[in-house]
Amino acid sequence: MKNDLRPARLSPRDILRVGAVGLRARRARVVLSALGIAIGIATMVAVVGLSESSRADLMARLDRLGTNLLTAEAGQDATGQRIRLPENAVAMVERIGPVRHATATADIDARIRRS
């Protein structure tokens, strides 16, 4: 005796009909899903756009300098306090791909007294 039973399969037309019923029955879910997707896409476009514009601005500023020398120095935090670069900052910069040479221009922890 042959086993002629096969699993049931939905045709593409039936799949579309079943999906359409789900979309019509839960309209709020459809709207919120579409809104979430739109917000996610807008966020990704904004992040990539900001990154590219920042990179373009940096490259334009370096081109205006007309040199291959870049000086990095410590800045200030949000409260205005001066920030010190870490002692291994030169080693970290040397690990960056296109950097050929890096050096510290000042690493002094001394007191100078007048006699």
Tens digit of each residue's pLDDT (9 = 90 or more) over 73-112: 788 888 888 888 888 888 888 888 888 888 887 666 777 7
* 88 to 31, 85, 98: CA distances (angstroms): 52, 8, 18
What percent of the chain shows pLDDT beyond 90?
Answer: 16
In whole angstroms, give the CA distance from residue 96 to residue 63. 20
- Retrieve residue 26's tokens: 């839960």
The residue among 80, 107, 79, 78 whose CA lies nearest residue 91 is 107
> What single-letter amino acid sits at 60?
A
What pLDDT digit, counting tens, does each position of 39-68 carry?
Answer: 999 999 888 888 888 888 888 887 887 767
- What would you report as the CA-atom Rg of the chain, rounded to the nearest whole angstrom? 31
